[in-house]
Amino acid sequence: MEYRNLGRSGLKVSTLCLGTMTFGEANEGSFMHGVGCTNETSFAIMDRALEAGINFFDSADVYGQDGLSERVIGDWFEDRGHRDDVVLATKFRFRMGEGPNGGGASRLHIVRAVEESLRRLKTDRIDLYQIHMQDIDTPEEETLRALDDLVRAGKVLYLGASNYAAYRLVDSLWTSKSASLERFVSLQAQYSLLVRDLEREHVPLCDRFGLGILPWSPLAGGFLSGKYRQGQEPPAGSRMEMWKQRYKGFDKPRNWRILAALEAVAEEIESTPARVALAWLLQRPTVSSVIFGARSTEQLEDNLQAAELKLDPAIVTRLDEAAELELGYPYEFMKHVQGRW
């Protein structure tokens, strides 16, 4: 397993990060109902991931139901005693309680959220605390000052952003610098061969300011795993069978072309589409670690091999071309004039 610095921080994380959204069996009414795994399976996945060299686990207070994912991880820490072996990341921002302050990025909600996450995770600190999405109703300085206080109190060690617009992320970094506050060291965002929008603004931004990118949904909800076929219903038991509207969103000619190219490369180098898709991301600029999920140890084993897969530059170019991003204005204009944007 390779380890990289998280952005320009001194924190070392494995190039594969274990996403824990599927941990625990959520009750009916949760968006994760029917797509999670048992506590026993979750424990086995974490055991094997740690054994394989993955030292980076990512969660969020809203994963599962009533903090289910965090509670499963906390029980595993209590049972196994591996807290100091893991770089623990979690997120806050979305609604976790009743009333007008049950969500958001206000100081009030942040203080409540971190204490509840620490309790569920059964730990005295969160190594990477991330705001799950920007909050346009709260001034960025209020959010950053509250997070800065948590770092100074030792409850949080590093800060990260997720699902931020580029303009807001630059504003946040400037606010941190001008007010001498702790700044974000990472950006967790959707990024895959199918979803490359990040390359317009966020990738250059993160490269310029030293943020490590943490792609989520690197297999596009499992679409890039190779189990789906054009014109056919999702396989029984697959995540897309439960999330049929999302599957319809992927059912586009461009996406099937990308999948065909991915499968051709995988066959050519005797690998799997999932491994190749993960390896492609690991070779993108500013990517520190790729977040992947697993509902079984078998899925985990297949994805683990992506950490050792190095794609030839010619293959990367083939995949880049198959998944070419329509830049739009003004990026196409700048690229036409000067060859890049």
Q: Would you please indicate which residues are annotated as catalytic (active-site) residues?
A: 63
Distance CA 278, CA 281 (A): 5
Locus of tokens 């599927």: 22
* Helices and strands (H and E) in the chain: how many: 13, 10
Q: Is there a contact between 136 and 167 (Cβ–Cβ < 8 Å)?
A: no
| CA separation for the pair 11, 7 (Å, rounded) | 8
Does residue 122 contact residue 74 with C-beta atoms inside 8 Å? yes
Residues with Cβ within 8 Å of residue 94, at least 6 apart in sequence:
60, 61, 62, 103, 132, 133
Give the Cα separation of 206 and 228 in Å (integer).
33
Closest CA relative to residue 266, chosen from 217, 313, 319, 189: 319
> 313, 225, 209: which is closest to 266 by C-alpha?
225
Signed CA dihedral, 305, 309, 315, 316: sign only: positive
d(CA 130, CA 273): 30
Of the candidates 284, 221, 281, 214, the one whose C-alpha atom is nearest the C-alpha of residue 57 is 214
CA distance 57 to 340: 35
> What does the radius of gyration of the chain's CA atoms come to, in whole angstroms?
20
DSSP alpha helix (H) spans, 138-272: 140-152, 166-178, 202-209, 239-242, 244-250, 253-268
- The strand pairing partners of 92, in sequence order, are 131
